[in-house]
Amino acid sequence: MQPPLITQMARNITLYRWSRFLRNLIFWQAVWFLYFQNVLSAAEAILLYAVYDVAVTLLEVPSGYMSDRLGRRKTLILSAIAACAGAVCLSIGDTFAMFALGQILIGVGGAFASGTDEAMLFESLAATDRTDEIEAQEVTAWRYSFTALALSALTGGAMVLIDPRLPFIAGALAAAALLGVTWRMVEPPHTTALPEGGEMLRLRHIASHFRNPVLSWIFALWVLMYGFSHLPFVFGQPFILEALTEWGLAASAPLVSGGVSATMMIVSVAVSLVAVQARAALGLAPLLLGAFGVQLLIIATMAITDSALVLVILLLRMVPDALSRPFILGRIQPLLSDDSRATWLSLKSFVGRLGFAAALTLGAVSTSDVGAMPHADIAGILATATLFGLVALVTLAFAARKIDLDPQHPDKPVRR
């Protein structure tokens, strides 16, 4: 006998946290560039990340569309299977082709989860009349995610000292556990009817969301913040390697990189403890624009200097996400309908990943084809990105003055 709907949905909400924990046990996160660069070259390592982003990009919107049509649970199960297979390929690979296959499969896993897991949470809350909890639930899930990232970054860096392939083997085991958790989830009911009239009508319905100025503004910000969040992720590892090489500690780069990544996740979790209060005090737009500004500060500092003091600045890398992602999701989810929620969430990721993959490809072309990336190459790429980001930040700030981004702050009138 099946338990009642409210019990099933409550279980979904609890399992969602643990699925986010397991999905973020990315043991190779702090060492992948160093590992690929050691086997191949810096340019090929950058291209391998671009391969991952292209794979996710090509499947972002189709996977979201599939989720809206076939269901959240089935899509998340396929995501876990692909992630597990990709980690296995990386653990046994020794050529660009095998690494690329692993990156593609992990990209498939990321694309199938993108938007779908968030839709699963919101619709489970909606089925039990608890949508007012969405921001709090996303903040809690954030803590689970970044606790996992911190643990896996530190342990992954230590694993490399034993065997460079161990982080990928551990990642495969985590993805297998994720499959078990996802299997226990139950498909939430849809609270809005699917549009009739064929697929073109459905696509026009999705496109209609862009007539909402709140959704359009957040879409643009999300796309930008995706790219600027990942720039330190890609270029932080060669930066750490170069700094340690000057001190004669290059052999310790994987462990130090893991320690830096773990600490940045811990800092992010700590910030999330006061994120709700910050959102209430500042309002949504100032909080989001401030988070974007922190991202620009990080990459600008990396462009200006190659001092080891930049390692301290890198600890702030995930703080902007802690101050933005849960509240963005909480703001936009009620504005989306069940028949297009995952597709729209995937679409914003699609555009962000496409832009970032293109930027990485250009970066790889302008990088010297040597084993290690010099700071001069890093500085050139990040300086250009900083200038672009400053223009975008000013543009978004002016646009926010004319949009009712935060109905929770009626005392802050919209300027027309």
pLDDT of residue 6: 83
Residue 61: Cβ within 10 Å count: 22
d(CA 240, CA 320): 21
In-domain check, residue 85? yes
Q: Rounded to whole angstroms, what are the CA distances from 129 to 83, 99, 411?
A: 33, 45, 28
| 32 vs 151, residue with greater confidence | 151
Tens-digit pLDDT profile for residues 251-286: 566 666 667 767 887 888 888 888 888 988 888 999
| 380 vs 266, residue with greater confidence | 266
Structure tokens at 414: 């919209």
pLDDT at 155 over 80: yes
Closest CA to 264 of 287, 241, 298: 298
Tens-digit pLDDT profile for residues 180-239: 999 999 998 875 555 555 555 566 666 677 788 899 999 999 989 988 888 877 776 666
pLDDT of residue 106: 92
Asked whether the CA dihedral 6, 121, 138, 412 is positive or negative, the reply is negative
In-domain check, residue 137? yes
In-domain check, residue 194? no
pLDDT of residue 46: 72
In-domain check, residue 368? yes
Q: Count how many domains the chain has.
A: 1
Asked whether the CA dihedral 186, 192, 195, 201 is positive or negative, the reply is negative
d(CA 235, CA 381): 10
Phi and psi at residue 334, to the nearest 5°: -65, -20
Q: Does residue 90 contact residue 99 with C-beta atoms inside 8 Å?
A: yes
Measured in whole angstroms, how far is the alpha carbon of residue 245 from the centre of its chain? 30
Closest CA to 334 of 201, 141, 135: 135
Q: What is the mean pLDDT of the chain?
A: 81
Instruction: Report residue 146's pLDDT band, with 50, 70 and 90 as the boundaries.
Output: confident
Residue 73: Cβ within 10 Å count: 19
Helices 32-39 and 253-272, interaxial angle, to 10°? 160
In-domain check, residue 219? yes
State the CATH number of the domain containing residue 270: 1.20.1250.20
pLDDT of residue 203: 62
Residue pointed to by tokens 């495969």: 172
d(CA 37, CA 99): 12
pLDDT of residue 199: 54
Tens-digit pLDDT profile for residues 299-351: 898 888 767 677 788 888 889 988 998 899 888 888 887 777 777 777 777 78
Q: Does residue 237 contact residue 34 with C-beta atoms inside 8 Å?
A: yes
Mean pLDDT confidence for 6-35: 87
pLDDT at 410 over 50: no
d(CA 295, CA 291): 7
| 14 vs 240, residue with greater confidence | 14
pTM of the model: 0.73
In-domain check, residue 315? yes
In-domain check, residue 415? no
Closest CA to 299 of 250, 227, 369, 367: 227
pLDDT of residue 93: 80
Domain range for 217: 5-188+200-400
In-domain check, residue 410? no
- 205, with CB counted inside 10 A (0-12, 13-18, 19+), is middle
pLDDT of residue 65: 76
Tens-digit pLDDT profile for residues 162-190: 888 899 999 999 999 999 999 999 998 87
d(CA 53, CA 254): 23
Structure tokens at 89: 């390929």
pLDDT of residue 243: 63
d(CA 156, CA 170): 8
Instruction: Report residue 382's pLDDT band, with 50, 70 and 90 as the boundaries.
Output: confident
Measured in whole angstroms, how far is the alpha carbon of residue 121 from the centre of its chain? 17
Q: Does residue 189 contact residue 5 with C-beta atoms inside 8 Å?
A: yes
According to DSSP H, which parts of 93-198 are helical? 96-113, 116-127, 134-162, 166-183
d(CA 158, CA 316): 22
Residues in the chain: 416
pLDDT of residue 390: 95
